[in-house]
Amino acid sequence: MERVLGELDSKVIVDPATTAPLNIYKLLVGTVVPRPIAFVSTISPEGVANLAPFSFFTVASANPPVLCFTTSFREPRKDTLVNVRATKEFVVNIVSEEFADKMNATSAEYPYGVDEFAVAGLTPVASDLVRAPRVKESHVNMECKLLQTVEVSNQPLGGTLVLGEVVRFHINDAIIEEFRIDPDKLGAVGRMAGNTYSRTRDRFELIRPQIVKK
């Protein structure tokens, strides 16, 4: 780590090639914030439900609607990834403040085959087009069909990118009007570094500039 002094400020220069992966991880999760949380529900080929949160998560496309999240690399592979690859489907449930503690309860490293719905006291409900159950407590559920997985890295702290096409939205009618979601009623939470989460209550607006073509 190198410190570079300037006239007005100083910068710490970090070279990933010569820095421990754990320290790079700390930089990433501390600066790429807040991160939305994909609360992913899957089901095993044997019919056992699984539920786990992932904060390396975002939208990849709107037409068609595609979500992506990353599972960290480990051996044996995470239950979510095993189930997604076996069944080719999953559900992304959005996490709101009122059940954030129950979401956190599912983040422990349970043995394969444990039903995290039961562990956390969350309610599984049937989906329309996929076998994986939805989280009843979530205001928004998105049923997804697997498009592909991408092995980004099989090194420690590496990961596998999962891309899924949304084939059905389930949205609490109290939070939506004209396809616009009320953020106050959704009450989504975001992930920071360490054990810290963020709320989405403090917001401000910026109007995008319009360039007048001559």
Task: Please determine, for residue 2, whether its predicted confidence score (pLDDT) is greater than 70.
Answer: no
Does residue 115 fall inside a structural domain? yes
How far does the chain reach from its first CA to its final CA, in angstroms? 48
What pLDDT does residue 159 have?
96
**3-state secondary structure string, the chain?**
CEEEECCCCEEEECCHHHCCHHHHHHHHHHHCCCEECEEEEEECCCCCEEEEEECCEEEEEECCEEEEEEEECCCCCCHHHHHHHHHCEEEEEECEHHHHHHHHHCCCCCCCCCCHHHHHCCCEECCCCCCCCEECCCCEEEEEEEEEEEECCCCCCCEEEEEEEEEEEEECCCCEECCEECHHHHCEEEECCCCCEEECCCCCCCCCCCCCCC
Tokens 């001559």, residue?
Answer: 214
Task: Please determine, for residue 4, whether its predicted confidence score (pLDDT) is greater than 90.
Answer: no
Does residue 78 fall inside a structural domain? yes
Does residue 22 fall inside a structural domain? no
Task: Please determine, for residue 198, whether its predicted confidence score (pLDDT) is greater than 90.
Answer: yes
Does residue 17 fall inside a structural domain? no
Which residue would you say has higher pLDDT here, 6 or 185? 185
Q: pLDDT digit string (tens) for 18-31? A: 999 999 999 999 99
In which band, very low, low, confident or very high, does the pLDDT at 115 lie, cut at 50, 70 and 90?
very high
The domain that holds 154 is classified in CATH as 2.30.110.10
Q: Which domain holds residue 181?
A: 37-192
Q: Domain total for the chain? A: 1
**Percentage above 70 pLDDT, the chain:** 96
Task: Please determine, for residue 76, whether its predicted confidence score (pLDDT) is greater than 80.
Answer: no
pTM of the model: 0.92
Q: pLDDT digit string (tens) for 146-178? A: 999 999 999 999 999 999 999 999 999 999 999
d(CA 131, CA 64): 21
Does residue 156 fall inside a structural domain? yes
Which of 81, 70, 213 has the alpha carbon at shortest distance from 152? Answer: 70
Does residue 4 fall inside a structural domain? no
Does residue 93 fall inside a structural domain? yes
What mean pLDDT is predicted for residues 58-75? 95
Q: Are the CB atoms for 43 and 85 separated by under 8 Å?
A: no
Does residue 55 fall inside a structural domain? yes
